[in-house]
């Protein structure tokens, strides 16, 4: 990559206060003793190892270190064996409070702590003593308090190692841990369940509650080697028949250190490489504490480390202390060019221009083998991506410091800020260049960080076989371009990790990966936002005895750029992101799905073009603004039909595809009452076993209608939207 002298750091701002991101506020604890030295070989660093198709990806940053180890953040804790050394254990932390706002971490895994700091030879947790770690002292106190609750002095039973996750010494039938068990199964386990007779029983695996430990607790010691993995959170769910050979299971959790090694068929290898985006380098994690109001606490001093030089001093022994990483997420939440659709042209497979000088960029392919680019001690980063110049092309900077010479709208880049105008020596197959700065030490060393982009610059087409009526050529291939709405609603075959102990609890799940989406504003233009997605299962009462199971998909607002320059009122920027969970269900209570405040649904009954009555749903906001949310409502039976298509055709990463009942996407029907509406047959769009996109339509078509281009629902879903009395009791008076 070409090099130029470093430029001074510049942050992006303007005199009006626009385009200024809220200050970064990371806060965590340094995992090692600050005054103890550690070292790392180049082969033990995080990231790509080797070259070409045979390269691997180290998820573990492994160091040589002897000393105390501390908890990075407040977290729930799970102890497992270390498969490389029986005298060591691995400890998995699941953050209870996230150390970085805006960056969801699923797990932090310590590989190689000394087992004798946790357990004795009788497979029990150590007794607390003057030489105990803070961790042992805390959990022993909590254990004693639990058995002395309510003033009852009960002699505590033996504190077995299995109570904090370690495999039982002599497991009972059904209680043995297996390498293929998902880590999530233990953090989201059921500690009890109700059988058909209403009896409360333990599940097959031994019930126990994993402890929650504060930030900065002296966890244990290590001698020799210590590995650290940081796993990013994509959501608390699993996918049925997931074809990715890599899983976050106990085999992964127990490894002395771990590398992603592409194996299997070409598509499986591709999925393994895609898994690299789930991981973050510990050096970059700490390096990002120097941005904004970050604080890195250490064990030997009261004041936290905050400046670039202070934080660099703590991490400089990592081989990647000066490495920054470029992540680019693109269409369908896949990495840039996952579908091979971002080539510059039919005769040029390059898809990116990159360098540190806008006048001297290298045209190349973005990480042909791994979807992460490693950037070593660059003065700045300049990037151009390929585009087809469609009206919806846009980019969002999730992480990264944009230079002041890159024009943007609250870190969204679109329209004239993104697309080039035709001219002499201008290749409009590329976007305009955008520039990122890196934090520098006094000695001009770059501080490790992540530059993470969400970019959708080209439309994706999918093939549809359309009947011709000609018996000799019964179908013809028609290519349909994916619409904005076709890239949103997934989670169709997702299974929650938060299990419901009884049938009276219904679950919802959230996909934490961001999506770019447009919302119409009152000027007729488009406001742009990033969203996550949520799926809620509920039941509504049809009559005194019958209920209807439904599935509601919705977008949750993450960030939005509104057209505030307009005279008209813009969107309501209500941020309603949440985690997965469960909710209670009762036939007497108002606990069916409703959009959270300030949103609410209204119904409108009208006569369709075919003479059939339609119940239309529209989404509204109590403050009168245009809602910044999209919804899809179907019944559970209809969702099961879609799941059947996924299973039948072995589709991966499936999403709902909206096949327009009209050929012209801008056209609409008008009812006899004057209601304008659109009608879609919902299909499944996913990746086949070769990685190519295909879509399938149910044999019995499932139609949804929309009257506001925000709420899409089947007739059965809309018909049984409950009316609610002031008493909050559900009544069986429905829109029919």
CB 95 within 8 A of CB 74: yes
Integer Cα distance of 225 and 661 in angstroms: 62
Integer Cα distance of 338 and 693 in angstroms: 11
Predicted pLDDT at 4: 27
Contacts 24+ apart (CB under 8 A), 166-175: 166/79, 166/80, 166/81, 166/89, 166/118, 166/119, 166/123, 167/80, 167/81, 168/206, 169/123, 171/206, 172/206, 174/204, 174/205, 175/204, 175/205, 175/206
Secondary structure, 3-state, 269-286: HHHHHHHHHHEECHHHHH
Pairing state between β 212-213 and 56-58: unpaired
Predicted pLDDT at 220: 96
Predicted pLDDT at 461: 87
Contacts with 381 (C-beta within 8 Å, 6 or more apart), sequence order: 324, 326, 354, 356, 375, 435, 436, 438, 451
Smallest Cα–Cα separation from 460: which of 158, 685, 728? 685
Contacts 24+ apart (CB under 8 A), 81-86: 81/166, 81/167, 81/254, 82/111, 82/112, 82/115, 82/254, 82/256, 83/251, 83/254, 83/255, 83/256, 84/112, 84/255, 84/256, 84/257, 85/112, 85/256, 86/115
Predicted pLDDT at 544: 66
Integer Cα distance of 733 and 162 in angstroms: 53
Integer Cα distance of 410 and 14 in angstroms: 11
The SS3 assignment for 38 reads coil
Cα 370–chain centre separation? 19
Model confidence over 450-499: pLDDT tens digits?
Answer: 999 999 999 998 887 777 788 888 888 878 888 989 999 999 998 887 66
Omega before residue 598 within 30° of 0, cis: yes
Predicted pLDDT at 523: 74
CB 660 within 8 A of CB 648: no
CB 272 within 8 A of CB 265: no
Listed as ranges, residues in the chain with pLDDT below 50 are 1-18, 191-192, 194, 198, 200, 202-207, 565-570, 573-577, 590, 724-736
Predicted pLDDT at 734: 34
Cα dihedral 322→327→328→332 (10° resolution): 180
Two tokens, residue 13 = 């701002």
All structural domains of the chain with their residue ranges: 27-170+211-318, 324-459, 465-469+477-731
The SS3 assignment for 516 reads strand
Q: What CA–CA distances, in Å, run from 365 to 336, 350, 385, 631?
A: 10, 5, 10, 37
Predicted pLDDT at 521: 78
The sign of the CA dihedral 587, 591, 594, 598 is: positive
Q: What's the burial of 327, exposed, middle or buried (CB within 10 Å: 0-12/13-18/19+)?
A: buried
Two tokens, residue 325 = 């990483």
Q: What CA–CA distances, in Å, run from 564 to 12, 218, 517?
A: 19, 50, 18
Residue with tokens 């012209």: 664
Q: Looking at the chain, how many residues does it have?
A: 736
Integer Cα distance of 511 and 329 in angstroms: 14
CB 389 within 8 A of CB 16: no
């Amino acid at each position: 990559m070409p090099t130029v002298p470093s430029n001074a750091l510049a942050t992006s701002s303007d005199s009006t206060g626009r385009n200024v991101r809220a200050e970064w506020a990371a806060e965590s604890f340094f995992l090692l003793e600050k005054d103890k030295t550690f070292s790392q070989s180049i082969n033990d660093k995080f990231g790509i190892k080797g070259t070409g198709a045979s390269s691997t990806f180290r998820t573990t940053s492994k160091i040589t270190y002897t000393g105390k180890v501390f908890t990075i953040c407040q977290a729930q804790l799970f102890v497992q064996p270390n498969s490389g050394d029986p005298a060591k254990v691995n400890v998995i932390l699941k953050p209870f409070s996230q150390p970085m706002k805006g960056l969801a971490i699923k797990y932090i895994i310590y590989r190689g702590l000394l087992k004798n700091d946790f357990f004795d030879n009788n497979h029990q947790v150590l007794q607390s003593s003057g030489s105990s770690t803070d961790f042992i002292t805390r959990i022993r106190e909590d254990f004693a308090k639990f058995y002395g609750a309510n003033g009852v002095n009960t002699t505590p039973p033996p504190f077995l190692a299995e109570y904090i996750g370690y495999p039982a010494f002599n497991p009972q039938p059904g209680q043995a841990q297996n390498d293929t068990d998902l880590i999530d199964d233990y953090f989201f386990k059921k500690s009890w369940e109700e059988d058909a007779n209403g009896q409360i029983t333990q599940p097959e695996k031994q019930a126990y509650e994993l402890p929650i430990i504060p930030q900065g607790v002296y966890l244990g010691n290590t001698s020799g080697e210590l590995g650290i993995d940081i796993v990013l959170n994509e959501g608390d769910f699993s996918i049925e028949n997931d074809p990715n050979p890599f899983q976050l299971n106990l085999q992964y959790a127990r490894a002395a250190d771990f590398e992603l090694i592409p194996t299997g068929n070409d598509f499986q290898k591709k999925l393994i490489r895609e898994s690299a985006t789930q991981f973050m380098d510990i050096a970059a994690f700490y390096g990002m504490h120097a941005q904004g109001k970050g604080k890195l606490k250490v064990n030997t001093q009261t004041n936290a480390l905050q400046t670039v030089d202070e934080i660099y001093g703590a991490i400089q022994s990592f081989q990647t202390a000066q490495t920054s990483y470029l992540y680019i997420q693109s269409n369908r939440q896949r990495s840039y060019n996952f579908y091979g659709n971002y080539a510059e042209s039919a005769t040029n497979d390059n898809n990116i221009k990159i360098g540190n000088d806008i006048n001297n960029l290298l045209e190349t392919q973005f990480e042909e083998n791994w979807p992460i680019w490693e950037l070593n001690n660059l003065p700045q980063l300049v990037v151009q991506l390929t585009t087809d110049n469609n009206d919806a092309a846009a980019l969002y900077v999730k992480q990264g410091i944009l230079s002041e010479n890159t024009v943007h709208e609250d870190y969204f880049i679109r329209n004239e800020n993104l697309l080039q105008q035709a001219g002499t020596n201008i290749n409009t197959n590329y976007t305009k260049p955008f520039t990122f700065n890196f934090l520098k030490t006094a000695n001009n060393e770059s501080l490790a960080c992540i530059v993470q982009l969400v970019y959708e610059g080209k439309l994706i087409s999918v093939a549809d076989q359309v009947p011709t009526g000609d018996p000799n050529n019964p179908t013809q291939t028609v290519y349909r371009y994916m619409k904005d709405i076709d890239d949103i609603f997934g989670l169709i075959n997702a299974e929650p990790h938060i299990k419901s102990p009884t049938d009276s609890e219904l679950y919802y799940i959230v996909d934490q990966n961001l999506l770019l989406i447009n919302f119409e504003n009152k000027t007729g233009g488009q406001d742009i936002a990033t969203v996550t997605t949520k799926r809620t299962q509920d039941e509504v009462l049809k009559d005194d005895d019958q209920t209807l199971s439904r599935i509601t998909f919705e977008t949750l607002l993450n960030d939005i750029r509104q057209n505030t320059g307009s005279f008209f009122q813009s969107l309501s920027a209500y941020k309603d992101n949440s985690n997965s969970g469960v909710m209670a269900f009762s036939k007497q209570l108002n606990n069916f799905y409703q959009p959270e405040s300030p949103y609410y649904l209204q119904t409108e009954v009208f006569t369709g073009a075919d003479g059939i009555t339609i119940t239309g749903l529209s989404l509204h906001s109590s403050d009168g603004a245009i809602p910044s949310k999209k919804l899809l409502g179907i019944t559970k039976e209809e969702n099961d039909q879609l799941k059947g298509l996924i299973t039948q055709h072995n589709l991966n990463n499936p999403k709902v595809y909206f096949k327009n009942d009209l050929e012209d996407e801008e056209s609409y029907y008008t009812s006899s009452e004057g209601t304008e509406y659109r009608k879609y047959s919902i299909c499944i769009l996913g990746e086949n076993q070769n990685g190519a996109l295909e879509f399938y339509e149910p044999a019995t078509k499932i139609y949804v209608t929309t009257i506001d281009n925000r709420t899409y629902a089947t007739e059965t879903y809309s018909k049984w939207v409950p009316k609610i009395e002031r008493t909050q009791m559900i009544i069986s008076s429905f829109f029919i």
